[in-house]
């Protein structure tokens, strides 16, 4: 019995969500993100990562903004939705090793001082590409203003 429990736990914790793009997300995923007011009709998601189910958790950046959401299935008071358009972002700090139980993340600091994390996990190269593309877009949009 213990062996079955260990195998079950191993499979649960080793199951890994992958980084996705606008092309790999389903229409219902995109519509759901729009329903959270985190995506305009003309906005394209560049990269997306969910640390759980997409209806519960999402971290992404688009051609206009960076965003994160957590929707608590049992208590809506615990819902957390954050977004910042590129011109509202003052700084982005990356943390590649956040401890054994946490995903790597970018700490987004807005011009009003508020902060939120945008997480991504996967192979190191994928995480690096996620972070670098997000930072490149932010710098590009910041320079255009």
| Cα separation of the two ends of the chain | 62
pLDDT tens, residue by residue, 68-120:
999 998 999 999 999 999 999 999 999 998 777 688 999 999 999 999 999 99
Q: Which pLDDT does position 16 carry in this prediction?
A: 54
Mean pLDDT of the chain: 89
Share of the chain above pLDDT 90, in %: 77
Q: Which pLDDT does position 118 carry in this prediction?
A: 98
Q: Which pLDDT does position 57 carry in this prediction?
A: 96
Q: 3 or 36: which carries more pLDDT confidence? A: 36
Segment 74-83 long-range contacts (CB within 8 Å, at least 24 positions apart): 81/36, 81/37, 81/38, 82/108, 82/114, 82/116, 83/38
Domain 18-144 has CATH 1.20.1530: no
Cβ neighbour number for residue 105 with a 10 Å cutoff? 22
SS3 content of the chain, % helix, strand, coil (to 5): 35, 30, 35
**DSSP label at residue 29:** H
Q: Which pLDDT does position 7 carry in this prediction?
A: 42
What mean pLDDT is predicted for residues 52-67?
Answer: 96
């Amino acid at each position: 019995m213990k062996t079955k429990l260990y195998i079950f736990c191993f499979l649960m914790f080793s199951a890994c969500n992958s980084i996705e793009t606008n092309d790999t997300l389903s229409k219902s995923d995109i519509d759901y993100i729009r329903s959270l007011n985190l995506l305009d009709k003309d906005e394209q998601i560049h990269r997306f990562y969910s640390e759980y189910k997409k209806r519960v958790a999402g971290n992404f950046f688009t051609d206009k903004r960076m965003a994160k959401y957590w929707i608590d299935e049992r208590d809506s008071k615990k819902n957390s939705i954050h977004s910042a358009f590129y011109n509202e972002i003052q700084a982005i700090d990356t943390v590649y090793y956040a401890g054994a139980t946490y995903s790597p993340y970018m700490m987004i600091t807005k011009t009003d001082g508020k902060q939120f994390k945008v997480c991504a996990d996967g192979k190191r190269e994928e995480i690096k590409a996620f972070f670098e593309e997000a930072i490149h877009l932010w710098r590009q949009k910041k320079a255009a203003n």
